[in-house]
Amino acid sequence: MSARAVDHGPDDLAAAARSARAALVREIDADGAWAADPVWREAFESVPRHLFVPYYYVGVAGGYERRWGEDPRPHRRAQWLRGVYTDAPLATRVRDGELVSSSSQPSLMARMLTALAVRDGDAVLEIGAGTGYNAALLSYRLGDALVTTVDLEPEITESARRHLAAAGYRPAVVTGDGARGCPERAPFDRIVATCTLGSIPLAWLAQCRPGARILAPFATGLIDLRVRDAGHAEGRFLHTAAYFVPLRGGPRSGSDEPDAVLAGLPRRARGSELFRFLLALTAGRLPADEAFALWEREGMPPRERYGITVGDGRAWAWLDDPAGPYAWPLP
């Protein structure tokens, strides 16, 4: 895409964005992310991501560099638009050098939305409003009235509300603690989180209808829970890796395990993303050398062999069987 593509006003910007969006959809299509529910393809074709990411930050030596759609330099505006429609996460809010909000990688969003397995008429709660882009995709699929998105930061919810309105969507945007859910909008058929959890909030289960599903990043994976009732849920991890900003105010997941913990282990463990997942999931409750012995003995298990159970006032992670020999308590 040349700089001239966004150099002559809003009509040229819209045309360039449509072309870039079509290319992004083709890229995700080739990945097979929405094969189970092709309606999501229509959503990604229709919802303009650039309206939700008027600016973002890229890492440079010494910090972050801001790219934005109102940059007076045509080549920088073109650079901004290319980045918006690249299949990559975008840092959208940085505070004191720390990332506090982002727009997730579109192909990962497509996989998560497909895995959510929504049906017409389902009410969905999204934890982590971000830019509002994911809520817009949900609104396209289900309609505004069935979508609620919540975030702790008032400035995040206000900007998400503006972005959604600019794109023609008006789901409920709520400022509040995502760990508490949104009781005034319950019950829900689906809850999807776009931030990493350190525990499974029991408030979410209480706000779900029996048979509902909760899809959330946990450790460095995606846990897919089926809710039985207000106190019980169980599910396995999807095979997909997932790295998100932590849920603010909640316990840490252990996904930022220091390299020092791995220092004495063989290279195949230090370099294995799946081994790091095991360490993050057990969050220090399994010493690294014991974790390594288990990991090797069990054939370097992929994520989908692990699961989480919530029941009778406690929660635990497990390998293969919730009642089996390999289980670890969760907060």
Given the residues 102, 104, 107, 159, select the one marked as catalytic.
104
Q: Is 102 a catalytic residue?
A: no
User: Chain centroid to CA 124: how far?
Assistant: 15
Helix (H) or strand (E) holding 99: strand 98-103
DSSP 243-267: --PBPTTSPP-STT--GGGGTTS-H
Structure tokens at 211: 């048979």
The sheet carrying 55-60 orders its strands as: 63-68, 55-60, 90-95, 98-103
The closest alpha carbon to 179, from 125, 229, 233, belongs to 125
**Cβ-proximal residues to 270 (8 Å cutoff; 6+ apart), any chain:** 259, 262
64-68 contacts, C-beta under 8 A, 24 or more apart: 64/91, 64/94, 64/97
SS3 for 169-181 is CCCEEEECCHHHC
B/e letters for 113-124, b = 16+ CB within 10 Å, e = fewer, are bbbbebeeebbb
Q: Which residues are catalytic?
A: 104
